[in-house]
Structure 1
Amino acid sequence: MCSVKASLLQVDDDLVDVLRTLHHHRYLNHTVLILMGDHGARYPSFIRASLQGKMEERLPYFGFAFPPWFEKKYPQAIANLRTNTDRLSTPFDLYETFKDFIHFQGAGPGDVYKRGISLFKEIPTERSCQQAGVAVHWCACLDWRNISADDSGVQRAVRAAVDTLNNLTAPYRQDCALLALQVVGSASKLQPRRELLSFKSERLEDRQVDLSGNTKNTMTLYQLTVTTTPGGGQFEVTVTHHHEKDAFTVSEKEISRINRYNNDPACILKKNTQIRAYCYCNNNIKSKY
């Protein structure tokens, strides 16, 4: 079995061969070439557990190569595309860009209230993950504050995270072990800034801001990295604390397995592949004795 590094090197050579062929036969004179990946370099596990690895999972590579004549014919579209390399963009924008290839709608400013914006339009600098339809768990533009694992809110969030993992495997408890917390690797907290909660209005004529508001904060988000036992599974989980109900909830879509599970879930692969990231087979425990 090839190592991850060796596999990547082999793919790299194949990619160079493809690009050379396209260039040599002049296919790129009338073709837009797009290269992309679903994530960056996130393995081995010590990389994924780092801040860099976290960003690699959320910010995959994406690149365009246009024929030389394209920029001459559509200079503003290419100028916007270059500007957008420093703006918040998503796969939904790629869909809108493809639509522009078929029927070009112009290279003006993008509408921040639309989920997808063609990359030939300028994406507004103020665009947020919420406006772009990016879930909090996957957003790379948020200001998280690191907090202690001993914080009472973190401890409740951790319990909610581990309970959710066990609930996902509960129908297969005969096969999948009941998980428990081994260690909290990191914990961070996201909540609205005080200035946001106190904002009431702004006078357009002189930009004077009224901060006498008293908006109630209804939720706090926790992002955790935890290791569970048995099996040593490592997970990154976003947990929502709903203040009015004083409830901590986790969506399966906001759980990332950040280390390899290899053959740990072999016992359920023919029964339910969707839970393989969360299942550590009981027979793995028995085989150690």
Structure 2
Amino acid sequence: MESRIHTYQWVYKFLGLCYFLIAVVFVIYGSNVSWSTKIKQIRNPNLSRISESEDKPEPQLYYLKTSKCHIPYVDPFNDEVMEIYKPQTLITCSNETDLILTEYNASIKRHVLHIDEKVALKLLNFTEAEYNCFYREIKYGDQAETFDKLGEKKYFTNGYEVPLHVEGMIVECQLAKDPKVVLQKDAFTFVQHRPLPKNLESPRGTRKPSVIMYGIDSLSRINLRRTMPKVFKFLQGPGWYEMKGYNKVGDNSFPNIIAILSGYSETTAKEQVCDTNKAGCLDEMPMIWKYFKNASYLTGYAEDESDSNHFTYLKPGFSKKPTDFYFRPMLRALETELDVYRLPYMRYCLGRRMANRYVFDYGRQFTKRFVHERPIWGMFWSNHFSHDDPFMPSSMQEKVLGDLLDFQEDGDLEEMIMIFFADHGTRFGRLTELQEGFLEERLPMMFIHLPPWFRETYPSYAQALELNQHRLSSNFDLHNTLKHIIEIGGTPDGPKLPKSFDCPTCQSLFHPLPEDRTCPQAGIEEHWCTCEPYRIITGQEWTTPIAHSVIDRMNEYFVHKNLNRLCSNLTLNYIHKTEIKTGPNLDYFKDLRQESAVYRIKFKVNQNGADFQATVVYNNSTQKAEVNVEKISRTNSYKEDSTCINDKLAKLYCICFGDIKA
């Protein structure tokens, strides 16, 4: 018995020693490694702890990863952004039910006005008081950008057929005994039917694809996923293609939109065509709608905020009506004649409706009226709810989704190519201050829908678009694609249309883009390029001279533009962040302090706390920065800083002496 006990004691001691040794091994391997991994590593000492660790960092994801371009994926709901993200609630402009309704009678091809008697009874407090309803026609002015006046009062009753020449009206219903008592005031715009021209009455051999462009200002692909997830889900449906490598080519709306519509940058247009700041130039520019119109397309264009219109914000606008259906004169009448509610700066409500509802209703009318019987091109743009507040699109999700569903349910998407896009992302404010702010600003959303008949007729074009979702692309490529669409519907021996002037290496998205494409090959300048990674650097003795040199260039710019008597000299307050360009295939830099390198620096100046971001080539020996001042980004609002000048670009940098805050 004693020997057996002795044996058990020896066994217990041996097991205890084994447990102790195992515990020591676990301590040596560290507490950050999972139990399953520790066991695997004990069994196989050569196993890499990093490769097996459950706590290893997630692999970097990319919107785009090619041999020459790495655009990182951004989690739209990461911890940093969720600290500031607040979904917005839709603000309605009126709680009243519509007294006047309109419908389009397809059999007689006329708009009809209806009066809802039940609503009238409620507005009359259920009395038998009599009332009258009338409209005043919105008449075009001599200039394309204005409306002339309102026409005389035309009284109407229920079932009134709107005359074909009327494209817009202000309507009112008043008490018969006291006309000062207005039951309801409203406004309507109409896309009136136009008969087919003779050359389109008989079927043609090649089917012309229609194009509708639905645009939302300042909406990045990241913020779309964040604020409109239902819309994003819809855009994953059959026939939709997301251009995940789409990168903007300019700072604000105008350079990005003009590149799409004309194929020119503003600078090159001034050299090759005309100065877009001078009256009459925009009429001369080779806008895409001119090419569509020459190919027998019916054309339409609409925006929802006249003060921030692409072609009239510090620009002269058009002297001639640019498209067959042009909404701006109607918009000016609505803004003038109806009550306006602003949120915060732009006109949010025009009378009883949100401003963008007029625009997209106009676009829906235009599409529904014509897309099933003739080729059309139209662009319909909204910025009143997305430009100033990056989170306001969340309140519009159901409205935008409803627009897209209407296109689908009416069968319009079966007929046409649709482009759902933005000009750029958020350019100032809270989102730009985040770690991913650089990407947020430069990666606008871009989705293209091809109808089934087009995919079946041109399978190689659909395959190319599928491939190009994962290639670097730009506004100039989209311009070439629009030209390609026109050529598709033309005669085989017809002339080839000129491609984008500013980017000779750009092409139609219906042909495969090169896998090794770089930003210069896509017409994207260094400051806007998201392809190549940068690494943060620290040390004031190194980064401060870069900021000072950039500010010197900005102050020289004021002198060169003869603005130094109006604009204050800028001085450095502090540096937010400085980064050095490393390139897509470099994991580290052995010697960051090169003689000359590309830097990205974000800084604040003392004057009104203005924030700027610049991409510069800086020479550490000469301490001189090479930078195009007009490519420097202003990353906070400048509305109240540069009221003394009207120069559209200089306003970004100028802090007027009279606007300096104490």
**Normalised by the size of structure 1, how large is the TM-score?**
0.76
Report SS of the residue matched to 1:189. Answer: strand
1:128 match = 518
2-structure distance, mates of 1:193, 1:125: 14
Q: Which residue of 1 is the match for residue 532 of structure 2?
A: 142
Note the alpha carbon deviations across 1:65-121, whole angstroms, 9 max, x for none.
Answer: 12122222223322221221121111111122223213359xxxxxxx952122122
Would you say the 8 A contact 2:534–2:583 is kept in 1? no
Does the aligned pair in 2 maintain the 1:186–1:224 contact within 8 Å? yes
1:258 aligns with one of 635, 656, 661: 635
Alignment of 1:52-131 (within 5 A): 52-104=436-488, 115-131=505-521
> Structure 1's 118 and 218: CA in aligned 2 closer, same or farther, altered over 3 A?
farther
1:185 equivalent in structure 2: 576
Structure 2 Cα separation of the partners of residues 165 and 143 of structure 1: 26
User: Aligned partners of 2:425, 2:599: CA distance in 1, in Å?
Assistant: 24
Q: CA separation in 1, counterparts of 2:434 and 2:533? A: 16
What's 2:283 paired with? none
Deviation at 1:126, TM superposition (A): 1.0
Give the superposition deviation at 1:160. Answer: 1.8
Contact 1:160–1:250, Cα closer than 8 Å, also in 2: no
Aligned partner of 1:38 in structure 2 is: 423
Given residue 612 of structure 2, which amino acid in structure 1 is its aligned partner?
F
Alpha-carbon distance in 2 for matches of 1:120, 1:256? 33
Unmatched tracts of structure 1, length 5 or more: 106-112, 196-216
Amino acid at match of 1:229: N
SS of 2:608's partner is: coil
The answer on whether the counterparts of 1:87 and 1:123 sit within 8 Å (CA) in structure 2 is yes
Q: Determine which of 551, 555, 559 is the counterpart of 1:166.
A: 555
Residue number in structure 2 paired with 1:157: 546
1:203: which partner in 2?
A: none
CA contact (8 A) 2:481 2:510 kept: yes
- Asked whether the equivalents of residues 519 and 526 of structure 2 are also in contact (C-alpha less than 8 Å), the reply is yes
Name whichever of 227-236 and 161-170 sits farther off: 161-170
The aligned residue for residue 131 of structure 2 is none
Q: For the residues of structure 1 that align with 2:404 and 2:525, how far apart are their CA atoms?
A: 35
* Aligned partner letter, 2:436: Q
Unaligned runs of 5+ in 2: 1-341, 345-388, 493-502, 587-593
Q: Does 1:283 align with 2:662?
A: no
Deviations 1:202-232 (A, max 9, x none): xxxxxxxxxxxxxxx9841111000011201
Distance 1:116 1:282, change over 3 A: same
Partners of 2:621 and 2:460 in 1: CA distance? 49
Q: CA deviation at 1:191?
A: 5.7
Q: What is the CA distance between 1:241 and its match in structure 2?
A: 2.7
Q: Which moved more, 1:48-57 or 1:232-241?
A: 48-57
Distance in 1, matches of 2:518 and 2:630, equals 20
The root-mean-square deviation of aligned C-alpha atoms, in Å, is 3.0
Q: Secondary structure at the match of 1:172?
A: coil
Judge conservation of contact 1:191–1:219 (CA < 8 Å) in 2. no
State the TM-score, normalized to the length of structure 2: 0.35
Distance 1:236 1:258 in 2: 7
Residue aligning to 1:230: 607
Percent identity between matched residues is: 27
Contact 1:149 1:186 in 2 (8 A): no
Give 1:6 shift. 7.7
Say which is worse superposed, 118-127 or 8-17, in terms of deviation. Answer: 8-17
2-side partners of 1:140 and 1:6: how far apart?
Answer: 23
Give the superposition deviation at 1:23.
2.7
- The 2-side partners of 1:77 and 1:8 are apart by 32
Q: Please tell me whether the aligned partners of residues 88 and 127 of structure 1 are also in contact (alpha carbons under 8 angstroms).
A: yes
CA gap of 1:67–1:191, structure 2 versus 1, over 3 A, is: closer
| Letter paired with 1:222 | Y
Contact 2:643/2:659, CA 8 A, preserved across alignment: no
Q: Give the whole-Å Cα distance in 2 for the aligned partners of 1:165 and 1:238.
A: 13
Aligned equivalents of 2:544 and 2:603: distance in 1?
11
Q: Following the alignment from structure 1 to structure 2, what is the Cα–Cα distance between the partners of residues 223 and 71?
A: 42
Greater CA radius of gyration, 1 or 2? 2
- Once residues 184 and 90 of structure 1 are traced to their aligned partners in structure 2, the CA distance between those partners, rounded to angstroms, is 31
Aligned residues: 255
Q: In structure 1, which of residues 50, 59, 80 is the aligned counterpart of residue 434 of structure 2?
A: 50
Matched, 1:24 2:409: yes
